[in-house]
Structure 1
Amino acid sequence: MAVTPGEDGGPARDASESVSFGVRVAAAWAWRVAVILGTTGLLVWLLSYVSLLVIPLMIAALLSGLLSPIVAWLRRLKMPAGLAVGLTLITFLGLLGALVTVVGRTMARGFEPLWTQAMDGLETVEQWVFSGPLNMSNDDVTSLIDEALQQLRQNSSEILSEALSWGSALGHLAAGTLLALFALIFFLLEGRRIWAFVVRLAPTRARAPMDGAGRRGWRSLVNYVRVQLFVAFVDAVGIGLGAFILGVPLALPLGVLVFLGSFIPILGALVTGTVAVLLALVANGWVNALIMLIVVLAVQQAESHILQPLVMGKAVSLHPLAVVVAVAGGTMVAGIAGALFAVPVMAIANTMVKYVAHRQWEHDPDLVPSGPPMPAPPDVDGEEPPLPPRPVRSPEERIDD
């Protein structure tokens, strides 16, 4: 390659040498980070168009992480795979249905006496409106009602469109539920075979790293689900115990409702907290309701900013700040679904990246056969050569481990 002589007669310097080392490093980092962020954003944008398919599959994966240890325990008892999966699913769905039924029936019975108190409260509010500081007359109330009806008539098309969208959302919810249940059955029944098929799609040299990273990521998912159960239990105990101490009726079913709602980010906490405050307001007055509101906010804030970051971060090997940022960022990008899946997705990605970066598949006990390796014959000098590395098993050989 010819080099153009410089002004002093010597060889000219390469143009890149005129750029400082720090600038070159910053540029190298900049375009790589831009590619990563752009690819991630494009992937999220594409997935948003198939959210009806992706979200049920991710929910099925979370439930599979919760139920797979039970299925594995039943398999160790020599139970057939289909029977183990069926028994686990029937027990899980039966327990979930029993909890919902108990909560619904108990609250329905408890609301009967509360309804009378609520009507008395409405009469008190009505008297305050007419004889209190507002000093409103019947004509004023009638005028307000007429204005409200007029607004409803003017916005009837928007209301109808919103109702139709809710109907479509309910249809999507039913379809997603069936898809999640169907996927959950196969994840529990043939999860290893499905993963082995996915690994076989990779190049031969990449199969061992991919397989080992996937296994470590799955362990992070299982740890996440277990910790989420613990966090939901703490929420239920905290709010239920607070309601019991304050004399709020239906404290026990309220605790169960909080436990179930804790698995729905943002919306679950909002709905269950509102129910707790309304029960306190109707039964014991606004002072008791205000105290109940403080209890609900204290428990939820402690769970979001103290318990979950510390316990969850330790379980999934994430810093507490990373957990908070992941939930906040997921909520901003994808709403409730983003808040639900942000932490497990980040935990899985973090585990898999560290696994590959440290080349852990080279000494991963999950990827090698049990027992010590066979020694090689001595070399010509009579010295024992180092033991050869143990061969990595293929995904097919590890299906029934």
Structure 2
Amino acid sequence: MSDSPDATPDATPVVASIPRSVRLSAAWSWRVLLIMAATAVGVWVVSVLKTIVVPIAIAILLAVLLAPVARFLRERARFPRGLAAGGALIGLLGLVGGLLTVAGNSVVKGFGELGDQAAQGIDEITQWLAEGPLQISADQLDQYFSQLGTSITENSDGLVSGALSVTTTLGHVAAGALIALFCTFFFLLDGTAIWRWCVGLLPVRARARTHQAARRGLVTLGAYTRTQILVAFVDAVGIGAGAAILGVPLALPLGILVFIGSFVPIVGAVLTGAIAVLVALVAQGPGAAIIMLVIVLAVQQIEGHVLQPFIMGHAVSLHPVAVLLAVATGSLLAGIVGALLAVPVVAVINTVVLYLHGHDKFLDLGDDDAFHGRPPHPPTPVATAPAAPADPADPADPAVEDRS
């Protein structure tokens, strides 16, 4: 091989001739595409396993909510761990069952009255259609109803298949409820040990940071849960009290419905408030419906301009626009369940990412706060002899030890 300069290949690679901006764009593009593909696969796996994943997510929310109750029963009332976990869960089921019982009794008592008022309202609407600007006669209305009945008869097969689909969905809901209750009990009973086992599956160097990030996400989740209960309570009291003052039938069930619907931020209270306006329209006419609409809008303004930006924003560190986009995306991907879980998931991810990138808002988070959802507090100095430093990579480190 000759060593002459003529035999030396060109030292400048072809890549160097490509502008740097193009190379950076290409490098970022394939990485973004890879992240999007991994995210799509993750969403697909979750959708396939939603009967298991969703109940576990709900169980985590319930465990964070009930952890202070279980701790009170364990530490103050001296209950055994299993009895304290079971007592907290039974108390929640009793509360929900009591609300549903009260609402059911109110519905049974008010349904007859509402039915009579609804029939009267329909007659008034029919008269307005005939005498108003639309000039729709009774014969035309009968013809429309007849066409509707014929359409229902012709599509009976689709209705039957839809009923079967609903039955299957109810079966999945029942199975998911059992899984959620089972997991909630064991998360309350032995959540620390379960988490320690999960952390132990990771590489040694990743255990400490994963543990610290997760416990901060858990505190954010607890703050979201408690704040959302407060927001839902304010919405329910405002709309329910307004309906009761106007004399709208089913005011108590409407308040309970608003309370449940408000757990879907922004969207839930709007939809349930619209139901309250519709009931007022059917029962007492347009005047009461307009007043009910004003009450609903006033409650929504209090929620949108006071509760969500200040209380919820402070609790989860999310802008209201981010909350709205999260709810819209969650409902698009997974319907009502997605809308319900979107905000807590985004809030936890936000807290974890901030911690992993060095922006920790829980600098004084104590060890015991991680699994009980308590807010951070300054450490209290204790006059004890200094202990030997623990290995942060050791899974038996006190950071993951059950100290409850």
Q: TM-score range by the shorter chain?
A: 0.7 to 0.9
The residue that corresponds to 1:63 in the other structure is 62
Report the alpha carbon displacement of residue 358 of structure 1 after superposing the two structures with TM.
2.5
Q: How does 1:4-43 map onto structure 2 within 5 Å?
A: 12-43=11-42
Report the alpha carbon displacement of residue 58 of structure 1 after superposing the two structures with TM.
0.9
Q: Which has the higher contact order (CA 8 A, sep 6+)?
A: 2
User: For the residues of structure 1 that align with 2:250 and 2:107, how far apart are their CA atoms?
Assistant: 7
- Tell me, yes or no, if structure 1 residue 399 matches structure 2 residue 399: no
User: For the residues of structure 1 that align with 2:265 and 2:118, how far apart are their CA atoms?
Assistant: 30
The residue that corresponds to 1:241 in the other structure is 241
Between 358-367 and 159-168, the greater mean CA deviation after superposition: 358-367
The residue that corresponds to 1:222 in the other structure is 222
Name the CA shift for 1:373/1:310 in 2 (closer, same or farther; >3 Å). same
Name the CA shift for 1:395/1:323 in 2 (closer, same or farther; >3 Å). farther
Report the alpha carbon displacement of residue 44 of structure 1 after superposing the two structures with TM.
0.4
The residue that corresponds to 1:385 in the other structure is none
Structure of larger gyration radius: 1
Report the alpha carbon displacement of residue 63 of structure 1 after superposing the two structures with TM.
1.0
Report the secondary structure of 1:120's partner residue. helix
Q: How far does the alpha carbon of each residue in 1:367-392 deviate from its partner, in whole angstroms, 9 at most, with x for none?
A: 99x866458xxxxxxxxxxxxx5533
User: For the residues of structure 2 that align with 1:215 and 1:207, how far apart are their CA atoms?
Assistant: 12
Name the CA shift for 1:166/1:215 in 2 (closer, same or farther; >3 Å). same
Name the CA shift for 1:121/1:362 in 2 (closer, same or farther; >3 Å). closer
Letter in 1 for 2:355: Y
The residue that corresponds to 1:281 in the other structure is 281
User: For the residues of structure 2 that align with 1:117 and 1:363, how far apart are their CA atoms?
Assistant: 59
Name the CA shift for 1:210/1:129 in 2 (closer, same or farther; >3 Å). closer
Q: Over aligned residues, Cα RMSD in angstroms?
A: 3.4
User: For the residues of structure 2 that align with 1:338 and 1:309, how far apart are their CA atoms?
Assistant: 22
Q: How does 1:292-371 map onto structure 2 within 5 Å?
A: 292-300=292-300, 303=303, 307-358=307-358, 366=367
User: For the residues of structure 2 that align with 1:219 and 1:91, how far apart are their CA atoms?
Assistant: 23
Contact 2:121 2:283 in 1 (8 A): no
The residue that corresponds to 1:182 in the other structure is 182
User: For the residues of structure 1 that align with 2:203 and 2:172, how far apart are their CA atoms?
Assistant: 37
Contact 2:223 2:316 in 1 (8 A): yes
TM-score (norm 1): 0.83
Letter in 2 for 1:288: A
Report the alpha carbon displacement of residue 195 of structure 1 after superposing the two structures with TM.
0.6
Name the CA shift for 1:174/1:207 in 2 (closer, same or farther; >3 Å). same
Contact 1:6 1:12 in 2 (8 A): no
Name the CA shift for 1:321/1:128 in 2 (closer, same or farther; >3 Å). closer
Letter in 1 for 2:37: G
Report the alpha carbon displacement of residue 127 of structure 1 after superposing the two structures with TM.
4.4
Contact 1:60 1:184 in 2 (8 A): yes
State, as a whole percentage, how many aligned pairs show the same letter.
Answer: 48
User: For the residues of structure 2 that align with 1:182 and 1:326, how far apart are their CA atoms?
Assistant: 28
User: For the residues of structure 2 that align with 1:40 and 1:59, how far apart are their CA atoms?
Assistant: 21
Q: Which consecutive unaligned segments of at least 5 residues does structure 2 have?
A: 369-378
TM-score (norm 2): 0.82
Contact 2:214 2:352 in 1 (8 A): yes
